[in-house]
Amino acid sequence: MTTGTGSPWRIEAIDKAVVERLAAAHLPDSLAVELGVDLVADPHRQDDDGNVWTLLRSARTVGDVTPGSVVVIGTHAGRWLGRVLAWDFEVNADDPIVTVDLLPVSPEAVQRALDRNRPSAA
Amino acid sequence: MSIPASTGRRKTRFVRDEDPPDDLIVVVRAAGFDIDGTLADMVRDARYSGESYAIEGIGGDREVLFGVSVFAVERDTTVARVLEKFSASPRYLAVTVGQLRSAGYPVVRRGPFPTISIYSSSAVFRPTHRLVTSRMPNLLQGPRPLSRWPARCGQTLPTLVKSRCRRKDDDGHWKSMAYRSDR
């Protein structure tokens, strides 16, 4: 397990070589591509800590879903924002469990906030 | 004879030693209008669960958890509260634990959260990828004897009389809908 402890800003990074190995073997999840999300997951799938979980194979791009990344997750039920907490290799070294902390804001709300707060060009 | 699933290299789910009562309402799924997509999501959930998790039964026997998590609507909450995370989902399906049991699905309480898993025993459901992917849709929507899964929210449900769905009306307000059984 690679979960960070203490400050929520501190996340234990995955070794770069491991990320590159998994990325090299990865095929983008077709549903993730179709839905336009980083990971196929939704709040129906919850682990014993209350976090959303999925498998790395459900990613569109491995490098975008490393621990600490802010991600858009989704299924046919909708889209959500989350932050990747950890990759857990206990079950499978090639397809870790990815745990995601669900953020209580919608992607659309964040997009609207960013759109109205762009720095002026001057 | 079915082949019990190996539970090696799986994480063990924490299962609480208490049976949820038959009259407990559970939200099985929040869904969009793409019913086939919803079914596919549930198949994926069960497949990933079976690959990753096992539960420990009475006597310490471990069993692969081909499970789908559902949300218990406990006394201190409401269906609307459970659905707060699913504001983008226009419909949902809620049934009672008793209805799930009657349909042949074991139900276990797990974790510290009001989450329940309904699952298919590995004795019935061989844990190979091919069979998982070919049988789970039947489990959800297909022919007898695995035809009782109430996942077809928004359509006539084959066996469960009081399953409920909801959708947003033209003004964006939630509207509960009841669906009749066809039997």
Global confidence as pTM: 0.76
Residue B160 has pLDDT above 70, yes or no: no
In total, the C-beta contacts within 8 angstroms joining chain A to chain B are 80
Average pLDDT over residues A88-101: 95
- How do residues B52-98 score in pLDDT, each as one tens digit? 988 876 667 788 887 888 888 888 888 888 888 888 777 777 778 88
Which is higher by pLDDT, B97 or B6?
Answer: B97
Which is higher by pLDDT, A14 or B100?
Answer: A14
Q: What is the pLDDT of residue B118?
A: 66
Q: What is the pLDDT of residue B52?
A: 92
Q: Is the Cβ of B44 closer than 8 Å to some Cβ of chain A?
A: yes
pLDDT above 90 covers what percent of chain A? Answer: 79
User: Which of B29, B40, B52 faces A44 most closely, judged by CB atoms?
Assistant: B29
Which is higher by pLDDT, B32 or B29?
Answer: B29
Report residue B114's pLDDT band, with 50, 70 and 90 as the boundaries.
Answer: low
> B149: which residues sit within 8 A by CB, 6+ positions away?
B103, B105, B139, B140, B141
Q: Is the Cβ of B133 closer than 8 Å to some Cβ of chain A?
A: no
Average pLDDT over residues A73-97: 95
Per-residue tokens: B163? 């399953």
Q: Is the Cβ of B112 closer than 8 Å to some Cβ of chain A?
A: yes
Q: What is the pLDDT of residue B42?
A: 82
Locate the chain A residue with the closest alpha carbon to B111. Answer: A48
> Chain B: nearest CA to A80, how far in angstroms?
9
Mutation site, B85, B133, B167, interface A, largest A CB count within 10 A: B85
Q: What is the pLDDT of residue A122?
A: 62
Locate the chain A residue with the closest alpha carbon to B36. Answer: A76
Q: Enumerate the residues of chain B whose CB falls inside 8 A of the CB of residue A94.
A: none
Distance CA A92, CA B129 (A): 16
DSSP B58: G
Q: What is the pLDDT of residue B58?
A: 61
CA atoms within 13 A on the CB side of A67: 23
Residue B179 has pLDDT above 60, yes or no: no
Strand arrangement of the beta sheet that strand B115-120 belongs to: B107-110, B115-120, B66-72, B25-31, B91-96, B164-168, B174-178
Q: What is the pLDDT of residue A15?
A: 94
> Chain B: nearest CA to A21, how far in angstroms?
21
Q: A71, A65 in Cβ contact below 8 A?
A: yes
